[in-house]
A and B are shown apart, each in its own frame.
Chain A
Amino acid sequence: MSDVTLALRQVRFTNKEFWRNPGSAFFTFAFPLMFLVIFTALLGSGTVEVAPGVFVKQSTYYVAAMSAFAVITAAYTNIAIGVVFQRDAGILKRTKGTPLPGWAYLGGRVLHVLIIAVLLVLITSAFGVVFYGADVPTGTLLLKFAAVVVVGSMSFAALGLATTAIVPNADAAPPIVNAIILPLLFLSGIFIPFGVETPEWIKTVARIFPVKHFADAMRAGFYGPPRFEFLWRDVLVVAIWGLAGIILAAKFFTWEPRR
């Protein structure tokens, strides 16, 4: 078997494992939809000003935001916590003792994330269309949108792998990972839209980290120009973060439990 075949084969086992784990499967899929329903219910059917003088339906805003949230959870949070659990349990150490190349094993996990991310975006969009009449990407915009989902899920997965390097053990994984991602989600307008009163420092934070860039690129797909411009620059920033994640992971990732 070639190494690529091995990685693809690993996707199959990772997928089986994922769907049989009630925790991972349920929360990954239920959370974004639950938040979508709650936010839309809380904030009514009004509009959000997404750019000066440009308004989109509240529901469209949240369908885009929750799709981004879903991808980030599936890629970053799941990978960072899940891989630390596997490391702590000695599963990674066992794998390292086999002839399977490490990248094929982790590559299998990252590819699996891509599948889950696509599913999540499809489900969130379908839910938005059926219940809220939200707008979804079509035509060439759909292709750009697909590129955003691919680059985004891979980059956040890579960042998840890099994050495992600073997590000492499985018990510490959920608090550390959430302490990183939750503030960033809030500071990037995922849950609460930025408005005219959003302070400059929050906007600066959002400009540095990849979450808002990713969310903006997703939004561009859902709102569509001319309401919201699709910028390759946003995709590039996410990709650069992803690359940094790969480099850091390659340097600091460990296969053995840290005790």
Chain B
Amino acid sequence: MAEPVIQVRDLRKSYQDVEAVRGLDLTVESGEVFALLGPNGAGKTTTVEILEGYRQRTGGEAWVLGKDPANLDRATKARIGIVLQSSGVDPFLTVRETIDMYRGYYPHPRPVDEVVDVVGLSEKRDSRVNKLSGGQQRRLDVAIALAGDPELLFLDEPTTGFDPSARRHAWQVVRNLIALGKTVFLTTHYMDEAQELAKRVAVIANGVIVAEGPPATIGGRDTAQTVIRFRVDDREGLPSLGHVPLGDGTLELRTEHPTKVLHELTAWALDRGSDLEGLEVRRPTLEDVYLQLTGGEAGAE
């Protein structure tokens, strides 16, 4: 098995007396999209900027492409593309010129036109950068990070502040990166973004990882209880399944065996020729898990 692209053990970072990252363990394998998901102030950017080489860790160990990120040599930097949370570009160059400028810093760059296509800026290639919309500038950020044909891409909150359509565009760009075989380290505070893009998610809160795994199973999501809700006028003969009445006449029950429970319920209703009004079967969403793990601070902008 190939060496992990990123490996982190007991990573710590203190600013004066505040400990922003408190003992983080992470592994990112080659070719995977890994999302670090967490609310603002959880330590996402601190972590990613340590891995990018911008910040020095105060404890623990880290390897990026087999090197210590605190001291990256040029050859290793050439294999990494970085999209910072916010970073400007010189406003008076065109899209093409800007990408061309950054390409020149790398030993094996990708052609400008190819990069422009990947991020969907083909129609804007001769526009000046200061004429681009916010979403287009963000795509330019990705294009610049991609210009050197890196193996590993860091995307720090790539869609924060986007409207829904711009976010879908950006997601398509990230999927294009996946198709190119890049390893992507993504930070985000959007659950849907992590779910949409990442093969593996780690949830970070207060500087520690509180859960890690594929989006479908993270935090015991696959084994957690399913919530079933329905309304009936007459409860006579209703099998005893542990249901509790909610205020508006709705009954709710939680189960780890939804197939069996639903079978009993629907059989009972069919026998009586009645209907289970407003029947609802809900698995916990990533958002539920996230809210529970991060102490309900989620979703805040």
Chain A residues with CB under 8 Å of chain B are 1, 6, 9-10, 13, 16-17, 20-21, 86, 89-91, 93-94, 96-101, 256
Q: Inside 8 A of B86's CB, which chain A residues have their CB?
A: 90
Q: List 12 contacting pairs A-B, 8 Å CB cutoff, sorted by A.
A: A6-B104, A13-B90, A13-B93, A16-B93, A20-B128, A90-B88, A91-B87, A93-B54, A94-B84, A98-B77, A99-B78, A99-B106
A256 touches B92 (CB 8 A): no
Report B270 CB to chain A, min CB distance, Å.
63
Partner of A91, one of B52, B88, B106: B88
Please give the distance in Å from A33's CB to the nearest CB on chain B. 23
A91 contacts B82, CB within 8 Å? no
Residue of A nearest to B104 (CB): A9
User: B252 interface residue, CB < 8 Å from A?
Assistant: no
- Interface residues in B, total, Cβ within 8 A: 28
Which residues from chain A contact B52 at a C-beta distance below 8 Å?
A: 97
Looking at the assembled complex, report how far the CB atom of A95 sits from the nearest CB atom of chain B, in whole angstroms.
Answer: 8
A99–chain B nearest beta-carbon distance, Å: 4
**Binary interface encoding of chain B residues 84-105 relative to chain A, with 1 for a CB under 8 A from any of its CBs, else 0:** 1011111111000100011011
- A90 neighbours in B (Cβ, 8 Å): 84, 86-88
Known: A97-B54, A99-B74. A13 touches B89 (CB 8 A): no
Of the candidates A17, A20, A21, A98, the one whose C-beta lies within 8 Å of that of B105 is A98
CA A124 to CA B284, docked complex, whole Å? 74
Q: Which residues of B are found within 8 Å of A89, using beta-carbon distances?
A: 87-88
Q: Is the CB of A93 within 8 A of B105?
A: no
**Interface presence of B53 (CB below 8 A):** yes
Q: Which of chain B's residues have a CB closer than 8 A to the CB of A93?
A: 54, 84, 87
From known contacts A20-B92, A89-B88, infer whether A13 and B101 are also in contact, taking CB-CB under 8 Å.
yes
Output the least CB separation between B199 and chain A (Å).
25
The SS class assigned to the B binding surface is: loop
CB contact between B92 and one of A17, A91, A98, A100 (< 8 Å): that residue: A17
CA distance A239 to B97 in the complex (A): 35
For B102, list chain A residues within 8 Å (CB): 98
B208 at the interface (CB under 8 A from A): no
**A97 and B105 within 8 A (CB):** no
For the A-B complex with A17-B92, A93-B54 known, give 10 more contacts whose Cβ atoms are closer than 8 Å.
A9-B104, A17-B90, A20-B93, A21-B92, A90-B86, A91-B90, A94-B84, A94-B87, A98-B105, A99-B106
Report the bound CA distance from A97 to B77 in whole Å.
7
Contact A99 to B77, CB < 8 A, known contacts A90-B87, A91-B87, A91-B88? yes
B interface list, Cβ under 8 A from A: 52-54, 74-75, 77-78, 80, 82, 84, 86-93, 97, 101-102, 104-107, 128, 144, 148
CA distance A93 to B92 in the complex (A): 18
Q: Are B77 and A1 closer than 8 Å at their CB atoms?
A: no
Expressed in whole angstroms, the Cα–Cα distance for A20 and B92 within the complex equals: 6
A9→B100 CA distance, assembly (Å) = 11
Q: Please give, as numbers and ranges, the residues of chain B lying within 8 Å of A16 by CB-CB distance.
A: 92-93, 97
Task: Tell me the complex Cα distance, A99–B144, Å.
Answer: 13
Q: Of all chain A residues, which has the CB nearest B101? A: A13
| Least Cβ–Cβ distance between A20 and chain B, in angstroms | 4
Residues of A within 8 A of B89 (CB): 91, 94
Instruction: Compute how far the CA of A97 lies from the CA of B92 in the bound complex, rounded to whole angstroms.
Output: 21
For the complex, give the distance between the alpha carbons of A256 and B87 in Å: 10
Q: Which 7 A-B pairs have the closest CB atoms?
A: A89-B88, A90-B87, A20-B92, A100-B105, A97-B82, A99-B77, A94-B87
Question: What's the Cα separation between A98 and B89 when bound, in Å?
Answer: 14
Tell me if A6 and B92 are in contact (CB < 8 A): no
Q: Is the CB of B84 within 8 A of A101?
A: no
Q: Quick check: B105 and A13 within 8 Å, CB to CB?
A: no
**A6-B105, A17-B92 in contact; A98/B84 too (CB < 8 A)?**
no
Q: Of A13, A86, A94, A100, which contacts B144 at CB under 8 A?
A: A94
Does A101 lie within 8 Å of B74, measured CB to CB? yes
Residues of B contacting A1 with CB < 8 Å? 104
Q: Contacts A16-B93, A90-B84; is A256 near B54 (CB within 8 Å)?
A: yes
User: Which residues of B are found within 8 Å of A13, using beta-carbon distances?
Assistant: 90, 93, 97, 101
Given contacts A13-B93, A13-B101, A21-B92, contact A96 B54 (CB under 8 A): yes
A90–B80 alpha-carbon span in the complex (Å): 18
Residues of A contacting B82 in the complex (Cβ-Cβ under 8 angstroms): 94, 97
Q: How far is the CA of A93 from the CA of B128 in the complex (A)?
A: 21
Q: How far is the CB of A112 from chain B (nearest CB, A)?
A: 13
Q: Could you tell me the distance in whole angstroms from the C-beta of B126 to the nearest C-beta in chain A?
A: 13
A16, B97: Cα distance in complex, Å: 10
B80 partner residues in chain A, CB cutoff 8 A = 97
